[in-house]
Amino acid sequence: MATDIISYLTDAVRKYKASDVFIITGREVSFRVNDLVLTRSELESQYSEKSEPDNGPVMPAMAEDLVQQIYKIANRDITKYVEQGDDDFSFAIKDVSRFRVNAFKQRGTYAAVIRVITFTLPDYKELMIPESVINLANESKGLVLVTGPAGSGKSTTLSCVVDRINKTYNKHIITLEDPVEYLHRHGKSIVSQREIHLDTENYVTALRASLRQSPDVILLGEMRDAETISVAMTAAETGHLILSTLHTIGAANTIDRIIDVFPSEQQHQIALQLSMVIKAVVSQQLVPAIDGSLVPAFEVMTVTPAIRNMIRENKVPQIEGVIYSSDTDEMVSMDSSLFKLVREGKITKDTAMEFAVNAEMLGRRLGV
């Protein structure tokens, strides 16, 4: 079989329904399918008794060739990658899909992990994103955060919120992404999509510049450091809606993470500022379903006056109790979401316990 990257990527999309493709020396080209990393040989054996032969483990020369093919398709200069050993970018193959690439070097060899991104944004209902999350599109200003581990669907959730704004309101939406994932057509709104390193130097530079571009909504791919967080909160204070992500699980952990990024002498002021601008924190995880697929579990915290006071008065740990004791769509704990998935027959009790925030309390509810 020819070592053609297009054939691997086409099979990933059309045949295996994979979310990621791995090119790593020493193992066959592999695919993440329902959170399992499998080789082409392993996947082919599931489709027929006569499995399609592969080229065997990827050798250094093959890895280099496949990565070079990716750069050629993306029409991207490979110099930065060769010199620095890391690169992020996206590209598309006509009639197949869009892809997000992290190219890197490991043990001196070329390597890449390629995320599959569909051309069209999926229906949020099919993705099981709650209506209360999509309704955050109705916010006109402030800070809305979607948090969770890598690969949990944060970018997709935020893209669905942006899509709702685009279809409903007449606004200027600016997205700052590294790299751009979903492409948004102009709807009722104008959507300007900027890719970090391609269209602008970095998040902070792009965010500061965006404030001079008459924005109503700014999607900030990730709040990575104190400077980015500080500029984002200032933008939220001045009447813009800021949508962003963090790699945290749980609203209280998210609030703590933002405050702890800053030096101790600034933390009280940051807590005060954050309490004024934060509108909602959504946390999500992808958990294994009984049918072998993955289903999302969400925690939703819509900020109330009581929660604002807790943030301002350094009583952040109490936020978990408020969320846990609530039963509205705008205030849902992660464990309540897991409990609902068990009750609906989508996940097992064991899975719910594995992903629970407070396993002891959830265990009592489940009778475990």
Task: Please give the residue range of the domain that contains residue 151.
Answer: 131-332
- Quick one: pLDDT band at residue 48, thresholds 50, 70, 90? low
- 81 with 137, same domain: the answer is no
Is 155 found in the same domain as 92?
no
Rounded mean pLDDT of the chain? 93
Burial class (CB in 10 A: 0-12, 13-18, 19+), 59: middle
Residues 111, 230, single domain; the answer is: no
Residue 217 inside a domain? The answer is yes
292 domain residue, yes or no: yes
Instruction: Verify that 170 and 58 share a domain, yes or no.
Output: no
Higher pLDDT: 56 or 127? It is 127
The 8-class DSSP code of residue 177 comes to: E
| Confidence check: pLDDT of 25 > 90 | yes
Do residues 157 and 293 both lie within one domain?
A: yes
Is 241 within 8 Å of 139 (Cβ atoms)? yes
CATH at residue 304:
3.40.50.300
Q: What pairs with residue 284 in β-bridges?
A: 298
Q: What is the pLDDT of residue 368?
A: 80
pTM: 0.84
The string of pLDDT tens digits covering residues 153-179 is 999 999 999 999 999 999 999 999 988
d(C-alpha 280, C-alpha 247), whole Å: 16
Asked if residue 258 is part of any domain, the answer here is yes
For residue 339, is it within any domain? no
Question: Do 150 and 12 have their domain in common?
Answer: no
**Residue 242 buriedness (CB in 10 A; 0-12 / 13-18 / 19+):** buried
DSSP secondary structure string for all residues of 322-363: HHHH--BTTEE-HHHHHHHHHHTTSS-HHHHHHH-SSHHHHH
| CATH code for the domain in which residue 97 is found | 3.30.450.90
Interatomic CA distance for residues 151 and 20, integer angstroms? 10
State yes or no: pLDDT of 113 exceeds 50. Answer: yes
Do 135 and 264 lie in a common domain?
yes
